[in-house]
């Protein structure tokens, strides 16, 4: 960690005070800076507010590896159930709407190359009046989809209560962009033992995102999958995937980084091109909204691709 000092501050004098706040760390004084090396980077977090407020300290910024030691060192979990030979392809409608259409789509998505199914039953909505998902009524449909297709199911939860109820029916828990920083939910999802898909919130930096992954790794031993989904919550304002963010995340951690070109673009025509661009940028997979009749979908139809278009995309992948 590099601590920058204010002009005129005495590095030698501050060195001792910093060292006392960080037992076990080595602190070296340089020209206008202090360099801190520690074998216990997780201890920096507690000391940081006090370091930052020492008179003469201008800033104290741990490196990414110091702020997120587990995420930085993490190796790729196997996730064998979620992929065949190639990328993880999680596809399905935004939300389950009814059993018949979901099961028909699930069969066709499997045949087209999906390796897991989107299985949204609790949906976050920007408006509290919009369709919130079928909720617990959909659990028998999830059971049937898993039985018929043999594919693993990925489902979003917004609360610890929803997490508890949906757990027996799904294979991966999705933490949506709106809940990336819901630390209690992250802890509960980590403890549940299933792999967790963690979306990046719009505007979140790589460090913000990996700090949230760090919660999942600190409070559980399950697999974590990162998902880039662009920088807007609103379909019409969506400006696409942050491909540089995908590359930076792939370089910073061994955790798989996948991409959601659907919510990132808000327009179905842009989805296939962005899906391929994400894979070229190093993404280990995709999360895609696809259903039989996107125009009639209750929500997010505008960026949902048809089952035929999903088949064509999977063929190119
Ligand atoms: C979703 O994938 O269903 C979703 C709501 O996306 P996000 O959390 O990225 O907005
Ligand atoms: Mn959606």
Angle between helices 11-21 and 44-52 in degrees, nearest 10: 140
Q: For residue 302, how far is its CA from the centre of ligand 1 (angstroms)?
A: 14
Beta strands per DSSP E along 172-295: 172-175, 196-199, 224-228, 257-259, 285-291
**Ligand 1 atom 6 nearest Cα:** 176
Predicted TM-score (pTM) of the model is 0.95
Scanning 31-171, the segments in alpha helix (DSSP H) are 44-52, 64-67, 69-73, 99-112, 139-149, 160-166
Report the distance separating Cα 33 and Cα 14, nearest Å: 10
Q: pLDDT tens digit string along 127-177?
A: 889 999 999 999 999 999 999 999 999 999 999 999 999 999 999 999 999
172 contacts 192 by C-beta, under 8 angstroms = no
> Which ligand 1 atom lies nearest to the CA of residue 120?
3
Q: For residue 123, how far is its CA from the centre of ligand 1 (angstroms)?
A: 8
Burial class (CB in 10 A: 0-12, 13-18, 19+), 300: buried
273: pLDDT strictly greater than 90: yes
* DSSP line for 177-243: GGGTT-HHHHHHHHHH-S-EEEEPPTT--HHHHHHHHHHHHHH--S-EEEEE--S-SSGGG-----H
Report the distance separating Cα 12 and Cα 27, nearest Å: 10
The pLDDT of residue 272: 98
Q: For residue 183, how far is its CA from the centre of ligand 2 (angstroms)?
A: 23
Angle between helices 271-280 and 243-252 in degrees, nearest 10: 30
Output helix, strand, coil percentages for the chain, rounded to the nearest 5.
Answer: 45, 15, 35
Q: For residue 233, how far is its CA from the centre of ligand 1 (angstroms)?
A: 9
Q: pLDDT tens digit string along 182-222?
A: 999 999 999 999 999 999 999 999 999 999 999 999 999 87
Burial class (CB in 10 A: 0-12, 13-18, 19+), 317: middle
The pLDDT of residue 125: 83
251: pLDDT strictly greater than 90: yes
Angle CA 162–163–169, to nearest 5: 100
Report which bound ligand comes closest to the CA of 178.
1
Report which bound ligand comes closest to the CA of 303.
2
CA distance from start to end of the chain: 41
Pick from 260, 287, 301 the residue to mutate for probing ligand 1's pocket: most ligand atoms within 8 Å of its CB. 260
Cα radius of gyration (the chain)? 22
Q: Percent of the chain scored above 90 by pLDDT? A: 91
4: pLDDT strictly greater than 90: yes
Please give all residues whose beta carbon lies within 6 A of any atom in ligand 1, as ranges.
94, 120, 124, 156, 176-178, 199, 229, 260, 263
Pick from 121, 182, 229, 289 the residue to mutate for probing ligand 1's pocket: most ligand atoms within 8 Å of its CB. 229
């Amino acid at each position: 960690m590099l601590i920058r000092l204010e002009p005129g501050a005495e590095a030698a004098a501050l060195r001792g005070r910093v060292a006392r706040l960080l037992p076990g760390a080595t602190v070296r004084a340089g020209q206008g800076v202090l360099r801190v090396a520690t074998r216990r980077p997780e201890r920096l977090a507690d000391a940081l507010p006090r370091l930052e407020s020492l008179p003469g300290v201008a800033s104290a910024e741990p490196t990414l590896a110091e702020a997120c030691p587990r995420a930085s060192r993490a190796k790729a979990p196997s996730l064998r159930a979620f992929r065949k030979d190639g990328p993880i392809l999680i596809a399905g409608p935004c939300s389950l709407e009814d059993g018949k259409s979901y099961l028909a789509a699930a069969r066709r998505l499997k045949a087209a190359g999906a390796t897991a199914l989107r299985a949204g039953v609790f949906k976050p909505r920007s408006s509290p009046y919009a369709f919130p998902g079928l909720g617990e009524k959909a659990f028998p449909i999830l059971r049937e989809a898993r039985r018929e297709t043999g594919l693993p199911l990925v489902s979003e939860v917004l609360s610890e209560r929803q997490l508890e109820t949906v757990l027996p029916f799904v294979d991966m828990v999705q933490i949506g962009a709106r809940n990336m920083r819901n630390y209690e939910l992250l802890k509960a999802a980590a403890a549940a033992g299933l792999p967790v898909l963690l979306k990046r919130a719009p505007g979140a930096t790589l460090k913000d995102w990996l700090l949230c992954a760090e919660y999942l790794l600190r409070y559980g031993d399950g697999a974590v999958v990162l998902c880039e989904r662009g920088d807007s919550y609103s379909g019409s304002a969506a400006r696409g995937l942050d491909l540089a963010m995908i590359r930076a995340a792939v370089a910073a951690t061994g955790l798989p980084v996948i991409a959601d070109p659907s919510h990132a673009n808000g327009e179905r025509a842009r989805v296939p091109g962005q899906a391929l661009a994400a894979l070229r940028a190093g993404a280990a997979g995709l999360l895609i909204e696809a259903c039989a009749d996107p125009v009639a979908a209750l929500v997010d139809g505008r960026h949902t691709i048809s089952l035929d278009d999903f088949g064509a995309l999977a063929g190119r992948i």
